[in-house]
Amino acid sequence: MSIELGHFALILAFAIATVSTVGGYMFWRSGERISLFLSQGAVLQFVLVAASFAALIQAFVTSDFSLKLAADNSHSLKPLIFKISGVWGNHEGSMVLWVMILVAFGAMVAAFGRRLPSDLLSLVLATQSMLVAAFAGFTLFTSNPFARMIPPPLEGADLNPVLQDIGLAIHPPLLYAGYVGFSICFSFAIGALISGRIDQAWARWVRPWAVLSWMFLTLGISMGSYWASYELGWGGWWFWDPVENASFMPWLAGTALLHSALVMEKRNALKIWTVFLSIITFSLSLLGTFLVRSGILTSIHTFASDPTRGLVILALLALIIGGAFVLFAMRASALRTGGLFAPVSREGALILNNLFLATAMGAVLVGTLYPLLLDAIAGTTISVGAPFFNLTFAALMVPLLIVLPFGPMLAWKRADVLGAAQRLIGAAALAIFLTILISALGGISISLAPLGLLLGFWVAFGAVAELIDRSKLGRIPPAESWRRLVGLPRSAYSTAIAHFGIGIAVLGIVATTAWETELVTTLNPGETAQLSGYTIAFDKSSQVQGPNYIADQGDFTITAPGGGTRTMVAQRRTYVASGIPTTEAAIGTYGFSQLYLQLGEPLKDTHVVRIWHKPYITLIWLGALLMAGAGALSLTDRRQRIGAPRRAIKAMPEPAE
Amino acid sequence: MLFWFIAIAVTAIACAALYYAAAGRMVNATGPDSQPANNHFRLVLAGIDADLANGKLGEPEAVAAKGELAREMLRQQAEVDAKAKPKAEIGRGTIAAFLGAVAVLSLVTYWMLGSPELPSQPLAGRTQASAQDIDLPAAIARIEKQLTVTPDDLRGWSVIAPVYLQTGKYPEAEHAYRRIIELGGGNADIQTALAETLMLQSNGSAAGEALTLLQSAAASDPTHVLSRLYIAAELTRSAQYDDAVKAWDAALALSKGDEPWVTAANEGRAVALNNGVVPAGTPTPTSDAIASMVAGLAARLDTQGGSIEEWTQLVRAYVVLKDLTKAQAAYDDALKAYPKTFDRGDLDAVALEAGLKGATP
């Protein structure tokens, strides 16, 4: 009965969301009672959807194949962790996860939003409920995860073996938390547009949500990139695949939103733009969901290639996004513009940041959608590949990264570029010195790599320079300087760490692109191969049996250039239930570099082995982790803590007047 | 029933929680709306001073910022004053109506979508259960009993006849099929099934009534394959080879070429042609056929391109045909079409094994 109760819980949540939407939009002006009703409704939605999700998990864990979803996507021999993660390794289940994160954010707004003005709170929760009703309704009526199968089959059809990985337990929940988190910013934007209440306080309420979602999205994308790189056996970290772009566009827009919300919160400027970005960011999240789900793009993410579902999502998308933009068009002119500032100022730098990020987002959007539109309208198939994205994206990112270290150095309203440049001289000198040193040691031929390195070092050291500058190191006694450094607000640290992370990621990208080496060869057990100073010895080849697969296994001994050996194991698995083969690469991490070994198809008496050496590739993901960590740090800043402005007052210095 | 009891209880609890959150407590109608705003202005003011102290804001700019802040405060104050008193709080009746809507919407939706009678069936709990959960003999007995009461029930006979046939109760099956035809449900399929029942009772011979039935079925439906196959088999069995060849041809004329029975029909035709003796060596596709298939694939890949699997198939085919020049050419083309190693899947391994010159890593 637990399955049917879970089904009912999801339906009840849908009903509460539907009624909350209608009630919220009708009575948002009526004061506190409706906002209390909606808050309670948001909490109940969360409890009910969580219960229904738990029912799904229980059916998967107990291999209850009378649930069609479990019969289609699970197998009794699967390890427990994959039984659980298998719940969202398919279209229907992942929609429930989507809705579950949506209601979790709604419940958080209800819990932390007691200090919000009741009319804004009502509008935010009504909009959130509308999204829940739309997506829970879509799930229930077009892709019901609780469909039953009687009589139940004896065994399930198993989960796609590529998804039987710890990555499935991590990547989708994080990514969804990022996508869906931006729904809060969207709901706040809709609330602001309807109520006309848009001021600095609004930005203060919105920014923590934007930071939180951005943090999850950063983690989700980077974990997806890492997962793809080790599981799909391609060894790359980014392919400008439309599915990747679908997640990258909201990230770019979200990054712009973080920065513009900062201007709005501090200086009451960029109001209309910030509202616009809030809408755009969530719209792009929805677009990503649509692109990935509709079957328009074929990839490992295409669970449902059923055109009717795609059409329904498209209709929802048109309704939600279209409605938001109509509202924006009607109301934006009524919003007042705020604080004044000179072109050269912190505000100006942040606008520049927004300009470049928005343009880059536009370039990715065009490159992703143009082939699809052309295919749909003219029937011609073209492919917009990595060269287009690399060129346009790099052309937009290089100037952005060049000016990035200046941003935090500039004063609000009117700033002195020359002064900022002077304070960055140390960082520039260090970056140039290191670039020349590395280039000389590496014996680099003419290429763009040194310029890329220079850029990466410049951004990284520029970020540190800001902290050093604010601690007045060298200008006052070291002890006092240390005291100043420790006493800096966490927001200063989070800015520096996030920007440092970008520099680190740039360094990783440049190094691995410029110096990656690859070798495809045949090896017999007992033979060795050489690549970039590493000696790879193929020790033995064997057959092993896993819980639900059998595998060809190759054992290798790697000798690093600096001496030191370690063993690595690569497998080619064939999953019993589906007969699908997967490649489990062996990855050895040396410092920040990785040696990547893949066992190819077994030939008559030998094995094809592919070996890549990827120098400093882990810096890319490390950079992303630093960025996400910076987001977490900024959330702990007392001035930003969600819904806690009152407590924060005590921490602030008393106004001078 | 228990399910509905729990479902209604859950709905009632949710509605009660909603009701007490909204209507159950005193609501302060003149909410302290300006309080958070004032806090916010204090924060911004403190922020300006902090920025000024850090050098993040120049002296004149800080004054300007404070001016902007003051104007914003005044504007907002005026707005609050000017704002008409908020509409009256929603009444308890409205909330009750909302709750009614929640209950109706959820119960009706579940009634449409759910299967309340189905229990959970975890694997551990049904180790004994087989796919045949239905008690077949009991079901048959029930239908039989029903048919003694209503012997004119065409649907009942239609359900039970194939079951009799499959369980080897041929006389019962024969009776059932005859009832179906008597009741007007006869068609080519039913006639053929009855003929099949008769044949099974007479060791495969379709002489007599069975053949008449089959011919009648074939005549009534010009596209009916099974009856024609049985006729051809019967003619072959009774050594009327000339007619048998014609009958096999008639059946084969209805095929699209890839049906599973085509092989058997071809074999039967060959036997009939050979006057009842199985010919030595069944025909296999010639190497000419393979070559033409490979050439077709090559031409298609050349003009339209194709998937990496198709390229791999082509290279592999040339290797099998020992035409290494063409294999190398095809491999080169494939490298052009798929320049990335990753995209090429197993192609490189095939080429490497055959000794083809590959892309330089």
Summarize pLDDT for B185-198 with one digit per residue, the tens: 778 888 888 888 88
Inter-chain residue contact B352 with A604, CB threshold 8 Å: no
d(CA A493, CA A498): 8
CA–centroid distance for B224 within its chain: 29
Angle between helices B34-54 and B59-82 (to 10 degrees): 180
To test the contact with chain B by mutation, choose from A3, A11, A138 the residue with the greatest count of B C-beta atoms within 10 A, namely: A11
d(CA A236, CA A230): 9
Inter-chain residue contact B133 with A151, CB threshold 8 Å: yes
Closest residue by Cα to residue A652 from A639, A635, A640, A643: A639
d(CA A322, CA A320): 6
Pick from A69-73, A450-454, B143-147, B291-295: least confident: B291-295
Query: What's the distance, Cα to Cα, between the start and end of chain B in Å?
Result: 69
User: At a CB cut-off of 8 Å and minimum separation 6, what does A259 contact?
Assistant: A350, A353, A354, A357
The DSSP code for A230 is H
Inter-chain residue contact A235 with B101, CB threshold 8 Å: no
3-state secondary structure of A497: helix
Residue A80 to residues A83, A253, A271, A418, A548, Cα–Cα distance (Å)? 5, 37, 49, 60, 12
A235: pLDDT strictly greater than 70: no
Predicted pLDDT of residue B130: 46
Chain A hits for B113, Cβ within 8 Å: 7, 11, 140-141, 144, 146
CA–centroid distance for A610 within its chain: 30
CB A566 within 8 A of CB A588: yes
A299: pLDDT strictly greater than 60: no
Average of per-residue pLDDT values in chain A: 86
**A-B C-beta contacts closer than 8 Å:** 252
Q: Where are the alpha helices (DSSP H) in A62-163?
A: 68-73, 80-85, 91-112, 118-142
In this structure, what token pair is assigned to residue A618? Answer: 């882990």
Of the CA atoms within 13 Å of residue A174, those in its CB half-sphere come to: 22
Predicted pLDDT of residue A228: 83
Residue A427 to residues A417, A454, A582, B72, B298, Cα–Cα distance (Å)? 16, 11, 46, 40, 59
Please report which confidence band the pLDDT of residue B322 belongs to, taking 50, 70 and 90 as the band edges: confident
Residue B233 to residues B194, B195, B222, B226, Cα–Cα distance (Å)? 16, 13, 18, 11
A437: pLDDT strictly greater than 50: yes
To test the contact with chain A by mutation, choose from B118, B309, B344 the residue with the greatest count of A C-beta atoms within 10 A, namely: B118
Please report which confidence band the pLDDT of residue A269 belongs to, taking 50, 70 and 90 as the band edges: confident
Predicted pLDDT of residue A576: 76
Chain B hits for A348, Cβ within 8 Å: none
Pick from A513-517, A554-558, B109-113, B316-320: least confident: B316-320
Which amino acid makes up residue A338? G
Please name the member of B33, B56, B131 whose beta carbon is closest to the beta carbon of A151: B131
Inter-chain residue contact B94 with A27, CB threshold 8 Å: yes
pLDDT tens column, A163-216: 888 888 888 899 999 999 999 999 999 999 998 878 788 888 899 999 999 999
Angle between helices A449-471 and A386-403 (to 10 degrees): 30
pLDDT tens column, A114-153: 888 888 999 999 999 999 999 999 999 988 999 998 777 7
d(CA A235, CA A587): 10
d(CA A623, CA A501): 4
Residue B162 to residues A336, B166, B173, B174, B197, Cα–Cα distance (Å)? 79, 6, 7, 10, 10
Residue whose pair of structure tokens reads 């791999």 in the numeric block: B312
Residue of B nearest to A22 (CA): B98
Residue A542: in which H helix or E strand, if any? strand A534-545
Predicted pLDDT of residue B81: 67
Residue of B nearest to A44 (CA): B14
d(CA A156, CA A63): 8
Q: Which residues pair with A559 in a beta bridge?
A: A535, A565
CB B177 within 8 A of CB B201: no
Residue of A nearest to B73 (CA): A199
d(CA A132, CA A126): 10
Predicted pLDDT of residue A657: 35
Closest residue by Cα to residue A16 from B260, B10, B84: B10
Q: Where are the alpha helices (DSSP H) in A294-340?
A: 307-331
Inter-chain residue contact B61 with A603, CB threshold 8 Å: no
Please report which confidence band the pLDDT of residue B144 belongs to, taking 50, 70 and 90 as the band edges: confident
Pick from A84-98, A639-653, B109-123: least confident: A639-653
Pick from A108-112, A289-293, B280-284: least confident: B280-284
Inter-chain residue contact A412 with B123, CB threshold 8 Å: no
3-state secondary structure of A68: helix
Chain B hits for A267, Cβ within 8 Å: 65, 68
Predicted pLDDT of residue B335: 83
**Strands of the A517-523 sheet, one edge to the other:** A517-523, A607-614, A593-602, A586-590
CB A287 within 8 A of CB A324: no
CB A145 within 8 A of CB A95: yes
d(CA B154, CA B174): 15
Average of per-residue pLDDT values in chain B: 79
Closest residue by Cα to residue B317 from B297, B332, B299: B297
CB A157 within 8 A of CB A71: yes
d(CA B78, CA A380): 60
CB A534 within 8 A of CB A559: yes
Q: Give me the percent of chain A exceeding a pLDDT of 70.
A: 93
User: At a CB cut-off of 8 Å and minimum separation 6, what does A125 contact?
Assistant: A20, A24, A35, A38, A39, A41, A42, A106, A109, A110, A187
CB B57 within 8 A of CB A415: no
User: At a CB cut-off of 8 Å and minimum separation 6, what does B110 contact?
Assistant: A7, A8, A11, B7, B116
Predicted pLDDT of residue A493: 92
Pick from A217-226, B143-152, B283-292: least confident: B283-292
d(CA B116, CA B112): 11
Predicted pLDDT of residue A373: 82
Residue of A nearest to B19 (CA): A37
In this structure, what token pair is assigned to residue A259? Answer: 């920065």
Predicted pLDDT of residue A9: 96
Q: Classify burial at B171, counting beta carbons within 10 Å of its beta carbon; exposed 0-12, middle 13-18, buried 19 or more.
A: exposed
Which amino acid makes up residue A273? W
Which amino acid makes up residue B209? E
Predicted pLDDT of residue B134: 54
In this structure, what token pair is assigned to residue A571? Answer: 């497998």
Cα of B114 to nearest chain A Cα, Å: 7
Predicted pLDDT of residue B361: 41
Q: Is the reported ipTM for this assembly greater than 0.90?
A: no
Predicted pLDDT of residue B60: 85
Looking at residues A433-448, what average pLDDT do you find? 76
CB B10 within 8 A of CB A12: yes
Predicted pLDDT of residue A127: 96
Chain B hits for A118, Cβ within 8 Å: 31, 33
B61: pLDDT strictly greater than 70: yes
Predicted pLDDT of residue B21: 86
pLDDT tens column, A631-655: 999 988 765 444 444 433 333 443 3
Looking at residues A459-464, what average pLDDT do you find? 94
Query: Which is more confident, B158 or A643?
Result: B158
Query: Which is more confident, B321 or A553?
Result: A553
Q: How many CB atoms lie within 10 A of CB B229?
A: 23
Which range, A179-193, A414-428, B28-42, B244-258, is most confident?
Answer: A179-193
The DSSP code for A344 is S
Of the CA atoms within 13 Å of residue A128, those in its CB half-sphere come to: 34
Of the CA atoms within 13 Å of residue A222, those in its CB half-sphere come to: 22
Predicted pLDDT of residue B29: 46
Predicted pLDDT of residue A648: 37
d(CA B241, CA B227): 18
In this structure, what token pair is assigned to residue A350? Answer: 């942040």
Please name the member of A150, A236, A522 whose beta carbon is closest to the beta carbon of B118: A150
Tell me: cis bond preceding A151? Omega within 30 of 0 counts: yes
Chain B hits for A233, Cβ within 8 Å: 342
